[in-house]
Copies of this chain bind each other. A is one copy, B any other.
Amino acid sequence: MPSKGAKESAGAPGDRPSPRRRRADAERSRSAIVDAAVRLLGERPEASVEAIAAAAGVTRQTVYAHYPSRNEVLTAVFDRLTAETDAALDSARLDELPAATGLLRLLDVSWEIADRYPGLRHAEPPPADRRQESEQHRPITDRLERIARRGQESGEFDRGAEPRWLAAATVALGHAAGAEVAAGRMTPAAAAEALRTGVLRLYGADAEARPLPDE
């Protein structure tokens, strides 16, 4: 790419909080694109921009009018899913539960959402944004971290591990459980159960403090 002008001034791709004068039209396109991308990438992570555009009912150029690159679309998809999970976790009122219970609750909620978009687990994180891959999970890991800390202070969890690491490890175990299901080596129920007990062990939760598993 010799010409890399970057003079996309007039156009307004992903914009800041100032609702300057964006038309409802554009907003509709944006979400149509993300919707389609979520759906398509959920099945075929390598779907092209063309395919996404078609599925969204717009042209490829329109996609580029809103997102400067394919990666930005990927990021938008990721953000959408994270937001969805985050919202679901909000209504779960984790903070009002005992740490261990809250942890299990979080696991269930996240698990269910992640399960809705099977292919997205393998969606390659945007190569450029790879370093921010963990930032994407931030809202979720933050909650995990808080729960871990709270449980450690209340004595529900062992104090031997750093909350940040526990959070990362939890996400990793969640992915592993999902992969086992995807590979057909475990049933969803078995994987969910294994995940629950595994995480509790990781946190050093008292075995007897364990609430009963649902279903």
Bound form: Cα–Cα A168–B183 in Å: 12
Binding site for B on A (CB under 8 A): 45-46, 122, 124-125, 127, 130-131, 133-134, 160-162, 164-165, 168-169, 171-173, 175-177, 179-180, 183, 185-186, 191, 194, 197-198, 201-202, 204
CA gap between A201 and B159 in the complex, in Å: 13
Q: Provided the pairs A194-B161, A198-B161 are in contact, do residues A176 and B185 lie with their beta carbons within 8 angstroms? A: no
Complex Cα gap A198–B202 (Å): 6
Residue with the greatest number of chain B CB neighbours at <10 A, chosen from A131, A173, A198: A198
Q: State whether B168 touches A176 (Cβ < 8 A).
A: yes
Cβ-defined contact, A127 with B162, below 8 A: no
Q: What residues of chain B lie closer than 8 Å to A162, measured between beta carbons? A: 194
CA distance A127 to B194 in the complex (A): 28
User: Which B residue's beta carbon lies closest to that of A172?
Assistant: B176
Q: How far is the CA of A124 from the CA of B169 in the complex (A)?
A: 21
Q: Is the CB of B169 within 8 A of A198?
A: yes
